[in-house]
Chains A and B, each alone.
Chain A
Amino acid sequence: MGILEVKNVGKRFGGLQALGDVNLSVAENTVHAIIGPNGAGKSTLLNCLVGKLIPDTGSVMFDGQSVLGRKPFEINQMGISRVFQTPEIFGDLSVMENMMIPCFAKRDGAFTANAYAAMMRDKEIIERAEHVLEDMNMADKRHMNAASMSRGDKRRLEIGMCLSQEPRLLLLDEPTAGMARADTNNTIDLLKQIKEERDITISIIEHDMHVVFSLAERITVLAQGTPLVEDTPDNIKGHPKVREAYLGEAAAA
Chain B
Amino acid sequence: MFGLDKKDFRLLLLVAVLVALAPFILNPFPEGSGMAQFNAGYPDLMQRFVIFGIFAIGFNILFGLTGYLSFGHAAFLGVGSYAAIWMMKLLTMNVIPAIIVSVIVAGIFSLAVGWISLRRSGIYFSILTLAFAQMSYSLAYSVLTPITGGETGLQPKVNDPRILDGTLANGATPKANLFGLEMGSSFNLDVGAWVFTFNVGYYLAGIVMLLAFYLSIRIFRSPFGMMLRAVKSNQQRLNYTGLNAKPYTLAAFVISGMYAGLAGGLMVAMDTQVGAERMFWTASGEVVLMSILGGVGTLIGPVLGAGAIKYMENILSKINSDILHTWFAFLPDGLEDFVVTLIYPFIGKGWHLTLGLIFMLVVIFLPGGLVEGGQRVARLFGRKKKSTDTPDGKTTPAE
Q: List the B side residues contacting A97 at CB < 8 Å.
A: 226, 229
**Cβ of B230 and Cβ of A81 under 8 Å apart?**
no
**Cβ of B242 and Cβ of A145 under 8 Å apart?**
no
* Inter-chain CB contacts under 8 Å: number: 122
Q: List the A side residues contacting B233 at CB < 8 Å.
A: 90-93
B232 beta carbon closer than 8 Å to chain A: yes
A26 beta carbon closer than 8 Å to chain B: no
**Cβ of A143 and Cβ of B389 under 8 Å apart?**
yes
**Cβ of A112 and Cβ of B234 under 8 Å apart?**
no
Q: Shortest CB–CB separation between residue B7 and chain A, in angstroms?
A: 11
**Cβ of B234 and Cβ of A91 under 8 Å apart?**
yes
**Cβ of B237 and Cβ of A122 under 8 Å apart?**
no
**Cβ of B240 and Cβ of A82 under 8 Å apart?**
yes
If A90-B233, A113-B251, A144-B391 touch, whether A106 touches B223 (CB-CB below 8 Å) is: no
Q: List the B side residues contacting A73 at CB < 8 Å.
A: 238-245
Q: How far is the CA of A165 from the CA of B391 in the complex (A)?
A: 28
Q: How far is the CA of A145 from the CA of B243 in the complex (A)?
A: 22
Q: Shortest CB–CB separation between residue A170 and chain B, in angstroms?
A: 12
A89 beta carbon closer than 8 Å to chain B: yes
Please name the residue on chain B nearest to A171 by beta carbon.
B240
**Cβ of A111 and Cβ of B247 under 8 Å apart?**
yes
A76 beta carbon closer than 8 Å to chain B: yes
Q: Shortest CB–CB separation between residue A91 and chain B, in angstroms?
A: 6
If A97-B226, A115-B251, A119-B223 touch, whether A92 touches B242 (CB-CB below 8 Å) is: no
**Cβ of A100 and Cβ of B251 under 8 Å apart?**
no
Q: Shortest CB–CB separation between residue B241 and chain A, in angstroms?
A: 5
- CB interface residues, B 235-261, toward A, < 8 Å: 236-245, 247-248, 251, 255
Residue-wise, chain B 213-227 has the 8 Å CB interface mask toward A (1 for contact) of 000001101111111
B395 beta carbon closer than 8 Å to chain A: yes
Q: List the B side residues contacting A89 at CB < 8 Å.
A: 234, 237
Q: How far is the CA of A117 from the CA of B229 in the complex (A)?
A: 16
Q: How far is the CA of A50 from the CA of B222 in the complex (A)?
A: 29
Please name the residue on chain B nearest to A78 by beta carbon.
B242
Residue-wise, chain B 1-42 has the 8 Å CB interface mask toward A (1 for contact) of 001110000000000000000000000000000000000000
**Cβ of B237 and Cβ of A88 under 8 Å apart?**
yes
If A89-B237, A111-B247, A145-B391 touch, whether A102 touches B242 (CB-CB below 8 Å) is: yes
- Besides A119-B222, A143-B388, 13 other A-B contacts (C-beta < 8 A): A77-B242, A82-B240, A88-B236, A88-B240, A90-B230, A92-B232, A101-B241, A105-B241, A105-B242, A113-B251, A120-B221, A143-B391, A161-B237
3 tightest CB-CB pairs across the interface, nearest first?
Answer: A76-B242, A115-B224, A90-B233
27 A-B pairs (CB sep. < 8 Å): A71-B244, A72-B239, A73-B238, A73-B240, A73-B242, A84-B236, A84-B240, A88-B240, A91-B234, A92-B229, A92-B232, A93-B229, A93-B395, A97-B226, A97-B229, A101-B226, A101-B230, A102-B242, A105-B242, A108-B223, A110-B242, A111-B248, A112-B224, A114-B222, A115-B224, A119-B222, A119-B226
Interfacial residues, chain B to chain A (CB-CB below 8 A): 3-5, 218-219, 221-227, 229-230, 232-234, 236-245, 247-248, 251, 255, 388-389, 391-392, 395
